[in-house]
Amino acid sequence: NAGVTQTPKFQVLKTGQSMTLQCAQDMNHNSMYWYRQDPGMGLRLIYYSASEGTTDKGEVPNGYNVSRLNKREFSLRLESAAPSQTSVYFCASSEGRGIDGYTFGSGTRLTVV
Amino acid sequence: RKEVEQDPGPFNVPEGATVAFNCTYSNSASQSFFWYRQDCRKEPKLLMSVYSSGNEDGRFTAQLNRASQYISLLIRDSKLSDSATYLCVVKTGGYQKVTFGIGTKLQVIP
């Protein structure tokens, strides 16, 4: 019973490089999310997918793209990494009924140099 | 004014003490409220939802005051294992309208 699985756990990129963060959930949840967490700030929503086949921008979408590959998987892509994207990234999922809480993955620590 | 405000702490309390955290929110239309716990370098985990009538889960009590627009978390008989950061989360409707506070750090001292 893995819950939400994120890969990789750590990554160092050079400015301008690209990468994809992978996320998969095995709870049959409808909704999936990508957040970033920076020191002194609350988690901020990058993109979300309310259900399979849909994706929408969150609070801080610039510089990112997402793909909801199927009900289980939701990936986040950085096309051209910038130092400002150094952060901890969390994927989360929820049943999507609106009042339920989220289950988070263990996070990806990304450093862009 | 920030949408969700928390005192970042740290709150240093001895084992066995009672400690309370408050979280204020600015949008009176907010609908759902949660407390999450985040251990150092780990993911947030849902601690408890906060219901209008208040709710309790063991040593933890959550309360909502809609008139003053704040929620609170009370921890009784603090344990060393309670040391963590406690995040306040407020939903105002829709997937985008979920705001996380910066968290309040609790350190329980032997």
Are B103 and A33 an interchain contact pair (Cβ–Cβ within 8 Å)?
Answer: no
Interface size A-B, in CB pairs within 8 Å, comes to 53
Q: Do A31 and B95 touch (CB under 8 A)?
A: yes
Residue B20, pLDDT above cutoff 70: yes
Question: Tell me, what's the pLDDT at A97?
Answer: 63
Residues of B in contact with A102 (CB under 8 A): 44, 46
Secondary-structure breakdown of chain A: helix, strand, coil percentages, each rounded to the nearest 5:
5, 50, 50
Residue A91: is its pLDDT beyond 60?
yes
Mean pLDDT of chain A: 93
Sign of the alpha-carbon torsion through A34, A36, A42, A45:
negative
Q: Is some CB atom of chain A closer than 8 A to the CB atom of B36?
A: yes
Bin B66: left if φ > 0, else alpha if -120 < ψ < 50, else beta.
alpha
pLDDT tens-place string over residues A4-45 = 999 999 999 999 999 999 999 999 999 999 999 999 888 999
Query: Which positions 9-28 of B are in contact with A (Cβ < 8 Å)?
Result: none
Whole-number percent of chain B with pLDDT over 70? 98
pLDDT in tens, B75-105: 999 999 999 999 999 998 776 678 999 999 9
CA-based radius of gyration for chain B: 13
> How many CB atoms within 10 Å of residue A28?
9
Q: What are phi and psi of B28, to 5 degrees?
A: -65, -15
Share of chain B above pLDDT 90, in %: 82
